[in-house]
Every structure is written in structure tokens, then in C-alpha cells.
Amino acid sequence: MSDEKEEKKKRGFKEDVPALIVAILIALTIRTFLFQSFYVPSDSMLPTLLVGDHVFVTKFSFGARIPWTGLQLPALREPARGEIAVFRLGREGRQVFPPDQRPKLPTDAFIKRLVGLPGDTVEVRDGRLFLNDREVRTESTGETFTDSTGRTFDVYEEYLGDCRHRILDDPGSPDINMAPRKVPQGRYFFLGDNRDNSLDSRRWGTVDRSAMHGPAGLLYWSWDWNGSWLELANPLTWWRNLTGKTRWERMGSFVGCEDENP
């Protein structure tokens, strides 16, 4: 009788292995070619994205890359001005570089708003954004935004092409200036919505098309966690931290533009 049970266990294991392999392959295919999760680690995209937001990136929109080949699948469309996109940058200590300039560096994913398209001239004068020598329209909302450290920012609406979105201005910071920069063909210029507190293309330059993962889409989870990870070692706190720290009101929303530019 024990031999029969042992044989059934072996048969069950052999039957489960192919199903497990198929499940892993499906998951890898989805992550590589369709959707990939991205965690927002910094406040550079406030007020649009908060630290702890988790969004899906649609990799097939810009053409997913085939691993270990250097090849890229056809894109459904080209990146659009105003949308939020995820891309790769090489990291060396606290410095970051476009990966085509320092290809041997390990890369991390970054998320910013696409401002300058190939051929554009981008300039910042006294904190105001100019594209092709024309000032980008901004309007004060009359509102303020307070971040997790207690700093208060003025909230503005910015209009980039057909995209209307919110940006922050720190009234206590000096106005930022950047001389005109021409965006080369095949490259893109990115800015954070938290303009006075963002390391972006003003610092590390433009991003090559090949380094872009895709546009950010669905915000599927948001977790307001700033405690010690050691606290999570206690299973008794898991449910409290999950339910109490989840920003339920943000889940299920789509990031990018608030609506089309009227």
C-alpha cells in the first residue's frame, strides 16, 4: 500500500513540473514583452506620483526588447510629449548616465515626464519651461501641496501639447535656469513634475530611444510605508500595515495626463 502511495506522489510531481514550467514561461513572457511593474522610489514626480506607488509599464507600446539579442519588437507608437515613461540609466555610485554613453554600468529604471522630442530645443528661464523658444503654458491652481517632510509647494497646471498635468514649485528655492539644449534625433528630454527637487535631463542629459521601457499606465497599488522593514518581520503586524498603509483611493487610476488640453 505504501508503494502505491509513493508511486502516486511521484506521478503527481511529474505532472506538476510541466505545469509549473509553463506558468513560469508565461509570467516571463508577460514581464518581458507586455507589462512590467515599477515601484516609485522617490518624490521627484510629486504630486502626480507618490513614493510607494506601483504602476504597470506597457512595454509593447514602445516595442519590447528581446533579451540577450539587442533586437527590438516593432512599436505600436512613438513616445508622446507629456506622457510619463520609464527608462534605463546607468548608475555609478550616486551618479547616473544614459546607458549608451556608459554601456558597462549596471542600469536602474527611472520614471519621469517626457518634455522634449527629437529636434526640440528645451530651455528653462527663471524656472519657466520653454520649448522651441515658446514658453510652455502654466496656470496657478491656488492650491498647495505638503510632502512627507513638511515642505509646502505651490501647485501649477502645465500644458504640454494635448497633456494637462500638475507640477510643483518650491517658493523657497531659487529659480532654476538652463541654457537652450537641442534634443538630438532618436533621443528624448525628461523632467520630474517636482521641478525643484528632481534629478532629470537637466542633470544627466537626453535618453536614447533604445533605453525606454514604455509608458506608465495603471496605478495598481500604493503603499504609504516609511517604517522599519524589521517591523515586517513580525507576522502579527502584516495585516495592520497592509490595510492601514495602503492608499486605497489611488488604486485603479491611470497616470499621465489629467485630460486633454482644452
Superfamily of domain covering 39-260? Umud Fragment, subunit A (2.10.109.10)
d(CA 22, CA 27): 9
pLDDT tens-place string over residues 103-139: 888 888 999 999 999 999 999 999 999 999 999 999 9
pTM: 0.84
> How many angstroms separate the CA atoms of 184 and 167, rounded?
26
Q: pLDDT tens-digit profile of 66-83?
A: 777 777 778 899 999 999
Q: Which residues are within 8 A (CB) of 50 and not within 5 positions of it... i.e. 6 or more apart? A: 40, 43, 222, 224, 247, 250
DSSP-assigned beta bridge partners for residue 184: none
Q: Which residues are catalytic?
A: 44, 112
- Domain layout of the chain by residue ranges: 39-260
Low-confidence stretches of the chain (pLDDT < 70) are 1-17, 19-20, 22-34, 227-234, 236, 238, 259-262
- The tens digit of pLDDT for each residue in 199-219 reads 999 999 999 999 999 999 999
Mean residue pLDDT across the chain: 86
